[in-house]
Amino acid sequence: MNINDLVLKKEKQEKITMLTCYDSTFAAVLESCKLDSILVGDSLGMVIKGDKTTLTVSLDEIKYHLKCVSAKSGNTFIIVDMPFSTFQENPEKTFSHAAKLMDAGAQMVKLEGGNWLLGTIEFLTTRGIPVCAHLGMLPQSIHKIGYYRKFGSSQQEKDLLIKTATSLENAGSQLLILELVNSSTSKQITENLKIPTVGIGSGKFVDGQVLVLYDILGIGNKLSFTKDFLSESSSIEECIKNYIQAVKKGTFPEN
């Protein structure tokens, strides 16, 4: 699986399936279940380290977990979050940090933010580092935002998100994560872009879905946009396969 395969899925209107993962054992299971993509997310700050936010995750920590995942993910497309403070200073330092993650097994790096990242994205992509952009709720900016909420419900936010998404694509982003974005806004963004969109809590009108692995296992956050697939399954493998099929069939999310 590579980025061209994901783009082809968008063109064929086949849903992209993605989950977070942080270790080799689960990575092997996800690979056997034929998941399209793994996100080695800075969500590990909360679900692995037990912290209240993602902000404490260091480059070395996410690199360690990335190496664990990539050891057993030969066919699954691997995306890694660039931790807070590793891409905000300047494009040159961002490239240096991103190159270390690519060397550790990533096939794409993910950056949270809007128009202020356009120069950095262009700098990275023209030098061979694929970028996934991230709009809507930005967990790394939680202290500025104040709390988790939906974005794109007002016309002003909707217009800004649509315009920013187009700018991110034009700068070189090849994938876009939409987190907690109003469903109608996600739909319009998805229709406007040539690159795939993957949603989390952003409705069904996107090109794919991503959730935190532990949430589908029923041992994570009890959030309105997640679902405990394990409660309806006889094993972890069946749980993951049921999630994959629900996304592909369009039965998850329901709206």
- Radius of gyration, alpha carbons of the chain: 17
Query: Which pLDDT band holds residue 242 (cuts at 50, 70, 90)?
Result: very high
Cα 39 to the center of its chain, rounded Å = 6
Catalytic sites, residue numbers: 179
The confidence score (pLDDT) of residue 237 equals 98
The confidence score (pLDDT) of residue 134 equals 98
- The pLDDT tens digits for 83-130 are 999 999 999 999 999 999 999 999 999 999 999 999 999 999 999 999
The confidence score (pLDDT) of residue 223 equals 87
CB 97: neighbour CB atoms within 10 A? Answer: 17
pTM above 0.95, yes or no: yes
Query: Which pLDDT band holds residue 209 (cuts at 50, 70, 90)?
Result: very high
Q: Is the pLDDT of residue 221 over 90?
A: no
Query: Which pLDDT band holds residue 226 (cuts at 50, 70, 90)?
Result: very high
CB 2: neighbour CB atoms within 10 A? Answer: 12
- The pLDDT tens digits for 25-76 are 999 999 999 999 999 999 999 999 999 999 999 999 999 999 999 999 999 9
Q: Is the pLDDT of residue 222 over 90?
A: no
Domains by residue range for the chain, with CATH: 3-249 (3.20.20.60)
